[in-house]
Amino acid sequence: MKPLSMKSKFIFATLAAFTLLGAGVLPPLSPAAVDSFAPKGAKSPAAQTQPAVPQRPLPDSAPVPAEQALSQRVAEYHIDVQLVPDTETLKASETVTWTHPGEKPVNELYFHLYPNAFASMDTTFMKESGGALRGDTMPQNGFGSMTITDLRTSEGVSLLQRTQYAQPDDGNVKDQSLLKVHLPQPVNGGESVTIRLQYEVKLPKIFARMGSAKDFVMAGQWFPKLSAYETAGTRGLQEEGWNLHQYHGTSEFYSNFGIYNVTISVPSNYIVAATGFPVKNAKLKQGQKIYQFYADDVHDFAWAASPDFVVAEEAFSSPEVPGVRIKLYLDPLHKDLKERYFQAAKAALSNFSKWYGPYPYSTLSIVVPPKEGNGAGGMEYPTLITAFGASGASPDTSLERTVIHEIGHQYFYGMVASNEFEEAWLDESFTSYAEDRLMEQEYGIAPNLPLQSSLVQKPEPLKLESWKYGGADSYTWNVYIRGKLLLKDMERQVGSKTMDAILSSYAKEYRFKHPTTADFQRTVEKKTRKSWKTYFDQYVYSGGAPDFAVADIITGPNNSGSNGDRFTRESVVKVTNTGSHYANVLLKFNFADGSTALRTWDGEGKEAKFQLLHNAALLSAEINPEHSVLLESKHLNNFRRAELEPESLSRWTLSMTKLLETVLGTLVW
C-alpha cells in the first residue's frame, strides 16, 4: 500500500512538533481453464452429472513451462475476462484447479469475492471504513459487486445450490465477500479438484484499489480467489486448515502461490497492463483486442486498461538482477516523466535485489492512473504496481517514494508472503524501512523519525489482526510507523551491518514461503546469538513503549571550595520510566554557564537519581534529548527546568527560544 503523502506528512509533522513542545496528547489523526490445463490426476467430485452450461472458450495455448518451480503451486487459474464497453462490467469464465497441500480430507472450498465488499454501505468493509480509505472516499452511487452465474465441477455437476456466504470475523450476514462451496466428495491430501465458474463484476467507481474512472479500469481483487490453505507447521500452526477472513476496512490480502493464465478482451483502442508477461502479441478480433498473460510463482493477478496509456519500456539488468523488462503505462500528464519512473524502478530493483535476494520475474509493470483514478494508486500486486494518480506535471519526490515503496512490496508481500490479514506489519513495516533507507541513499531524503515516533500516541501489538486496531489511524501509526521504528530501534542496538544480515537472511530463507513474526524473531536470535524474547514480548506481541520523565530536580546549598573563592553547587535529578523497560538512555544537563553534561541511565528499575556537582547552577535536565529511543512516543515530560534564581531566567528563556527554533526546523522532511 502507498506511503503517506508529503502533504499529510507535513501536517502530521507540524502537529507533532507542538506535541514535542508541550501541546499535550493529540487526538487521533487521519493519514489520510480448460481441462487440458489441469494437472494430471486432477479429479472432479463424484455426483450425478448434470448438463454443463456453455462457457466462453479459454485460451488454446499451453502456459509457458517453468524450468523449476520457485514455490509450492497450490492453485492454477485459467481465466477469460471481457471488459464490456460502456457498462463498467467484466464478464468472465474461470477454471481453477486446487491441489491439496495437506493431509486431512477437505470437504469444502472457500473463495474470496472481494468486489462484494462494495455492494452497499452494510458490508463489513464499508461499515469499518466508513466509505473512506487512504484519503479517498467512495464516490456517490459508486457501488459494485460480483455475481456468480454458474459454478460446477469439470464434469458439469452444478454447485450453486451447495454454496453459502461465510462471515467468520464478525457474523455480518450482509457481508458476501467470502463464499463457502460444499464439495460432493472430499479431496484427500495430494489430490486435485477442478472447478469452473462464470461470473460478472459490476465495477465500482474507483475506490479502495479497484474500479473504473471514465475510460480507466483497475482490476485488482477482481476474480473469485481461493482462500489460503495452510498445512501444519505453516506460520506455527498445529493443525492444517483454511485461513478464513472477510474483506475488512484496513485489511489487505493473503493467498497461496500458484499459476495464472489469463486472457483479457478489451475494446480495440485499449491498452492493457497486467501481472506476468504476454504469451503472444495482442490480436484484434470482432472489434476487440485480445491479450493473453501468464505468471507463475505468484499469489495474485491484477490488470489495468485505458485507451490513454503512454507506454514506454526498458530492459534492465545488474549484478543482482539477471534481466527484467520494466514497462511504464503512463497517464498522458506524466508522459515526459518516464526517466524519473525508470530511475526509481532501477534503483529499487538493484538495491532490493542486493539486500533481499534477486528479483526472479522477467517483467515489472508500473501503472500511473489518471488523477480521477487515484483510488487505485499506490498499490502492489505481483510484478505490477500502481503509482500515485497523475495530478501535476511536476510532482515532488513522492513520485519516487511511491514507486520505491511498492516495488519493495515485491519482496515483503510478493515473495516473502506473510499473512496481511493477521500480521500486516511484516509487509508494511519492512517495506517502509527499506523505502526510507533507499530514499536517503539515492535522493538524500532522511526521515524525521523522532517526529514520526511522536505520532504513535497509542501503541498496539504489532501481531494483531488488522481490523482489531482502533481504526484506520491506529492501524497506520502502528503497522506502518511503529513497526518501522521498531526495526530502526533494533538497528540502533545491533548496528547496521548486523541488521542488514538479519533482514537479508530472513528474506532469503522465507522466499516463496509464508513466515510469521516468530520466524523473524528466530532469525534475529540466530544472527545476534542471543535471546530477544523479552524485547519481542514487550514491543511486538504487546503494545509496549517506554515513557521517560524527569520527575524532580532538587538543588542543594552552595558549598565553599577549597580555595575559598569558588562555589560547588549540588543538584539531584530524579528520572523515571513508567512504561516498558529500556536500557542505556541518555540524559543531558544544562548549566547556567552554558556548559552541558551527559550521563547514561542503564534503565534498571523504574527510577534513578543522578547527583551533579558543578560550579554553575543547573538550569534544566532532559532524558532521551535527541529522541533517539524511537519507541518512546510521549515526549512532553522528558524535559524539566530547575527552580531558577532571577539572574538565570534570561539565559533559560534564550535556551527555550533556541529549542523552539530547532524543533520547527525539523519540519522539512
Catalytic residue annotation:
406, 480
Cell of 336: 515526459
Query: From CA 176, how far away is CA 247, in angstroms rounded?
Result: 9
DSSP result, 120-183: -TTSHHHHHHTTEETTEEPPTT---EEEEEEEEETT--B-GGGEEE--TTT--TT--SEEEEEE
Cell of 100: 491439496
Beta strand pairing call for 384-386 and 548-560 = unpaired
What is the total residue count of the chain?
Answer: 669
DSSP state of 370: B
**Is 103 labelled a binding residue?**
no
**Is 409 labelled a binding residue?**
yes
Query: From CA 266, how far away is CA 84, in angstroms rounded?
Result: 7
From residue 540, alpha-carbon distances to 260, 533, 536, 627 in Å are 36, 10, 5, 20
In one-letter notation, the amino acid at residue 648 is S
Collect all residues with Cβ–Cβ distance below 8 Å to 299 and sequence separation of at least 6: 255, 256, 257, 258, 382, 417
Torsion sign over Cα 467, 403, 627, 654: negative
DSSP state of 426: H
SS3 63: coil
From residue 626, alpha-carbon distances to 79, 454, 578, 639 in Å are 56, 13, 19, 11
**Is 645 labelled a binding residue?**
no
Binding-site residues for Zn(2+) sit at 405, 409, 428
Binding-site residues sit at 405, 409, 428
